[in-house]
Structure 1
Amino acid sequence: MNQKTKVPAHARLVAAVAALGGVLFGYDTGVMSGALLYIGNDFHLSPVAEGAVTSMLLVGAALGALLGGRVADALGRKATLIGGGVIFVVGSLACAMAGSALALGAARTALGAAVGLVSIVVPMYISEMAPPAVRGGLVSLNTLMIVVGQLLAFLTNSALAHTGNWRLMLGLAAVPGLVLAVGMFFMTDSPVWLMRKGKQEEALQVARRVGLDAELVASTSGDRRSSREVRAQERQALRRPWIRRAVLIAVLVGITQQITGVNAIVYFAPKMMNLVGISTENAVYTSIIIGTVSVIACWVGMMLVDRIGRRRLLSMGLAGTSTSLILLAIAYRFAETDVRASWLVLVLMALFIAFQQAAVSLTTWLLLSELVPSQVRGLGMGIAGMGLWVANWVVAQGFLPLVDAVGGPVSFLIFAVLGAVALVFIRRAVPETTGLQLEEISGDMERRYAGE
């Protein structure tokens, strides 16, 4: 975030409270990396079953992401995030009390629906409440909270490693879920949603409080369409070539975040370290290093994103992740025969995470909130979010079987190649959105693709 730009206090408060959803997102995706080491022993899971239990959260997340935008359009951003916090509480307690792998998978699926919903609605809400000059930094606060949540999960796993109490590891997610629900109760809805519901005066008041252009907000007439009419008009809007292209680009940007293999590292770093000779308890502790690097790197990215631009930062990140993965593949090959090389594996995992969190993951969530036009904002962000979570599921479900089939080094090389392909796509298809109003971004996309 550009430190020279003054950010209204209310905009900061709104972003901070909403970003608590990122803590939940991060905790629930990160906690399995340590808990899985003990769940597998208790329930006698095969590598395929371990991947399934981990990835069931992602199945629910894909559905939650698809529906999240529409729920937020119908009920409001505020009510949707309150509901997401409540589901987190209930789902976390259900995970902690699961008596079988099947019950745990079912609870993780329900919890995943809340993760997917929050992952879409939080950046949507913050982007609608943030002035353009600082939108990158404020929306990226959500990404910072995701990695903070993952670090909290890793610290919790490490603190409980000597007990093997995976139930407590999973159940503690109920705490931030409760904080999110209570915190959002005191927030206001976004001017975009308020205008759509015909609440013009309230929308203008909120716009002024968060530093938005009140005249621009006022130029948008209140929208009192029924839910059925909204869905019909969204489907009609998707027939317009430029809107369809904008949504498709957003979908591919979301997939780009996952095909770098980031969640193979986040979910399975302790497992991979365990495979090269690190003890189970020490393998859990290595996640703290990964989590700490993630938080620091994400903070650095927040300082840069409004200065050097989304597209440039994302390109730099993809080049860095692919290079790190190539080096990681080489180091992992040595570590398979000499445990003394395992420290180099950990260093290169941390380097990969630094590029990923400072640039790739941070800009991905930001671009999703910026690229989708207002005409299809709920549906379009839902589709883009579902694409991201489906890709996440494929990685989580397939990584351990892939390692079992071809080995760790080849698996890392596959991700490096995919990252290079993603870099070509970003350079050719993704526009720069830094410093532009959301309406200006849509106008640029329309000029580019209206004739297709």
Structure 2
Amino acid sequence: MSEGSSARRRFVYVASGISALGGLLFGYDTGVISGALLFLKKDLGIQHDAFMQGLVTSAILIGAMIGALVCGSLADRLGRRRLTLLAGVVFGIGAIGAAASPDVAVLVLFRIVLGIGVGLASVIVPMYIAEISPAEVRGRLTSLNQLMITLGILVAYIVDYLLAPYAAWRWMFGLAVIPAAALFVGMYFMPETPRWLVGHGRLDVARQVLGRTRGEERIEEEIEGIQEAERRAREQAGWGELVKAWIRPALIVGLGLAILQQFVGINTIIYYAPTTLTKLGLGDSASILAQVGIGVVNVLFTFVAIRTLDTIGRKRLLLAGSVGMTASLAVLGFLTLAVGIKGGAIGIITIICLAVYIASFAATWGPTVWVMLPEIYPLRVRGPAEGLATWGNWASNFLVSLTFPSMLAGLGQGFSMLLFAGMGVVSFLFVLALVPETRGKTLEEIEEELNVEVDKAG
């Protein structure tokens, strides 16, 4: 029994790890632009066009909104496995197309294609892992997706650094075809999830998959549990329920968290840190190397979040993160205005402030928002409510990413950083006034507290 249990555990880890390559691609394709932009803007003639630089960077988010919006219905129709295979194909086509782009219009088009892959992966990867995993390891394996996203960003930074001496931005994009192919080949040999199989009446195949992941003694119990979950899911309300007053408090908190997660400026660092650092007088390779260090901090402090979410609590983490992000950006903004934009010392201080900012975000707002969203929404409207919050997150990401180059050109680094520091203050006040602590509470207790907190604030 012990050997069989070990084999089943290994199979679940392998299936989850292969699926999580979608998270790696998510991180890589969103992070690689930070270094590639330094070189492609010269080759494609947009080095003096801040809006086009923002469009090339943010085009991936247009696709992500599309991919996330259609993923739910496609996952139900095609299945989790086949949709993950499709995501691998989309990632591969996007990578090759971006690498071969002859002009900026084609590059924007294929960045949108890559974004569709990102949007699909953002939904289907955690869904597949959650449904293929036994309950006792589900939380740990689902968090693997967030870890792989941060690893993908770090890998992108490393690739950017290694290829920077050759200005090889096409290779920076094109190398993503390797993990895309690995995702497709790996998922080809993986099973469909039991949840989808049961929902489509394929009980015999579902039992076979459960036998590989749960053990014979738990198969019928799991089948019954899935059938009960399917029955409850059919009772869930649609999008029209979201306009009703009873769900408004949870929507305010959920949308606020999702939007503020982007308005505090995280993706100005993920996408534009090397561009910002070159304005301080650092060379291209040195700027990208500093970004690699920031990527390492991002990965390490994601582990901090995983370990502290269930001990410190969600609200305290969010408040602490807001303080850390606001302080680091305020120091950077005021120092830049006082000392000036260039020079070795200000460059080092900028890197330190950016690292503190990333650490504050990665340990708090990064993962905590995604943990809280399903907690604050009642089961009856959880699907559409989470979909709305996710769309709001992508839309906010797009807005910030599109406008930041123009903001940087018009306001300068100092005022731009102070603007995002101000959003950090807003995030602190929002959490303090409206966001309940959800750790260790039932959904009913959370719903009741949400109503009380919003009534007080109103």
Q: TM-score, normalised by structure 2?
A: 0.85
CA-CA distance at 1:323 after TM superposition: 1.6
CA distance in 2, matches of 1:417, 1:173: 36
Preserved CA contact (<8 Å) 2:294 2:355: yes
- What residue is the counterpart of 2:328 in the other structure? 324
Matched pairs, number? 440
Deviation digits for residues 303-325 of structure 1 (CA, Å, limit 9, x no counterpart) = 22333333332332222212221
Q: Distance in 2 between matches of 1:82 and 1:435?
A: 37
- Identify which of 400, 403, 427 aligns with 2:405: 400
Partner residue, 2:3:
none
Three-state SS of the structure 1 residue aligned to 2:310 is helix
Q: Distance in 2 between matches of 1:384 and 1:214?
A: 35
Further displaced range: 201-210 or 309-318: 201-210
Identity %: 36
SS at match of 1:54: helix
The alpha-carbon distance between structure 1 residues 367 and 200, as it changes in their structure 2 partners (threshold 3 A), is: farther
CA distance in 2, matches of 1:428, 1:391: 22
Partner of 1:165: 168
Distance 1:277 1:139, change over 3 A: same
Structure 1: tracts of 5 or more residues without a match: 1-5
> Structure 2: how far apart are the matches of 1:316 and 1:192?
38
Structure 1 Cα separation of the partners of residues 235 and 51 of structure 2: 39
Deviates more, 1:326-335 or 1:267-276: 326-335
1:203 positional shift: 5.5
In 1, the alpha carbon distance for the partners of 2:151 and 2:107 equals 24
Distance 2:183 2:340 in 1: 42
CA distance in 2, matches of 1:238, 1:8: 40
Using the alignment, how far apart are the partners of 1:445 and 1:39 within structure 2? 48
Larger Rg belongs to: 2
Give the Cα separation in 2 of the matches to 1:261 and 1:78: 34
Offset of residue 206 of structure 1:
5.8
Q: What secondary structure does 1:162 align onto? A: helix
Among 69, 92, 96, which residue is 2:95 paired with? 92
In structure 1, what residue type is equivalent to 2:227?
S
Q: Return closer, same or farther for 1:84/1:52 CA change in 2, 3 Å cut-off.
A: same
CA RMSD of aligned residues (A): 3.3
Q: Give the Cα–Cα distance (whole angstroms) in 1 for the partners of residues 34 and 312 of structure 2.
A: 34
Q: Is contact 1:195-1:222 (8 Å) kept?
A: no
1:425 aligns with 2:426: no
- 8 Å contact from structure 1 (residues 198, 222) kept in 2: no
Relative to structure 1, the CA distance from residue 376 to residue 193 in structure 2 (aligned partners, 3 Å threshold; closer, same or farther) is: farther
User: Superposed, which structure 2 residues align to 1:27-426 within 5 Å?
Assistant: 27-45=28-46, 46-129=49-132, 135-199=138-202, 209=213, 218-219=224-225, 221=227, 234-238=238-242, 241-243=245-247, 245-247=249-251, 249-333=253-337, 334=339, 336-368=341-373, 370-376=375-381, 378-426=383-431
Q: Which amino acid aligns with 2:366?
A: S
Question: What SS does structure 2 have at the residue aligned with 1:354?
Answer: helix
CA contact (8 A) 1:123 1:366 kept: no
Corresponding position of 1:3: none
- Residue type of the alignment partner of 2:263: I
C-alpha contact (below 8 Å) 2:88/2:183 kept by paired residues:
yes
Higher relative contact order at CA 8 Å, sep ≥6: structure 1 or structure 2? 1
Q: Is the 8 A contact 1:84 1:117 kept in 2?
A: yes
2:254 is matched by which residue type in structure 1? A
Aligned counterparts of 1:244 and 1:204: Cα–Cα separation in 2: 41
Question: What amino acid does structure 2 have at the position aligned with 1:255?
Answer: I
SS of residue matched to 2:166: coil
Quote the Cα distance in structure 1 between the aligned partners of 2:50 and 2:79: 41
The gaps in structure 2 that reach 5 residues or longer are 1-5
Deviation digits for residues 195-241 of structure 1 (CA, Å, limit 9, x no counterpart): 4334567657767836999758725536999xxx9799523554565
Change (3 A) 1:424 1:340: closer
